[in-house]
Amino acid sequence: MSELSHLDGRGNARMVDVGEKPITRREALAEGAVAMRPETLSLILGGGIPKGDVFAAARIAGIMAAKQAGSLIPLAHPLSLDAVEVGLEKDGDTRIRISAAVRSTGRTGVEMEALTAVSVAALTVYDMCKAVDKGMVIGDIHLVGKTGGKSAFPAASPAPPQRA
């Protein structure tokens, strides 16, 4: 069990001590999607959702969520973020693709912040549109890449999210 950084030698949960890690530029890119009926996507793109601009609300929610990841995820470190970019775009006739790029200069990565941003942006899309489409599906949330630290992938810096 000692291979897992959030467990001590006896299997007890612990917050990892990052105090000795070097300060480096950290970046992470995450993506996800919300699938819906074509009519719902048309309403979103045409500004016809009664609750307002879905993309604008989801973008703000994602940014706010990234800043709160350390409060939401047990054992995650609260981080000072340099930048958070959330993008939403049409992906075919039935999906919205959501991406989040997060940057920080620190001792630990920003993967959880990027994943949290995508997740909450997707939940916001769902919340704003549930009155017209209760069958939406949130999914495909994953880390695309990260840089900084010792376990970066891919080698190149993650691309910023697409803007809608």
CATH of the domain at 97: 3.30.70.640
The residue-averaged pLDDT of 21-40 equals: 95
Residue 17 inside a domain? The answer is: no
Per-residue model confidence as pLDDT tens digits over 62-103: 999 999 999 999 888 899 999 999 999 999 999 999 999 999
The residue-averaged pLDDT of 127-134 equals: 97
163: pLDDT confidence band, cut at 50, 70 and 90? low
Q: Which of 53, 91, 93, 127 is catalytic?
A: 127
List the one residue out of 32, 17, 25 whose CA is nearest residue 96: 32
Distances (CA, A) of 134 to 40, 41, 43, 48, 131: 10, 13, 14, 16, 7
Query: Measured at the alpha carbon of residue 71, what is the angle toward residues 1 and 15, in degrees to the nearest 5?
Result: 25
Distance, in Å, from the CA atom of 145 to the CA atom of 130, rounded to the nearest integer, reads 31
Find the domain containing 35 and state its range: 24-147
Residue 15 inside a domain? The answer is: no
Residue 99 inside a domain? The answer is: yes
| Structural domain count, the chain | 1
The residue-averaged pLDDT of 26-41 equals: 97
pLDDT given for residue 155 in this prediction = 44
Q: Is 140 a catalytic residue?
A: no
Residue 12 inside a domain? The answer is: no
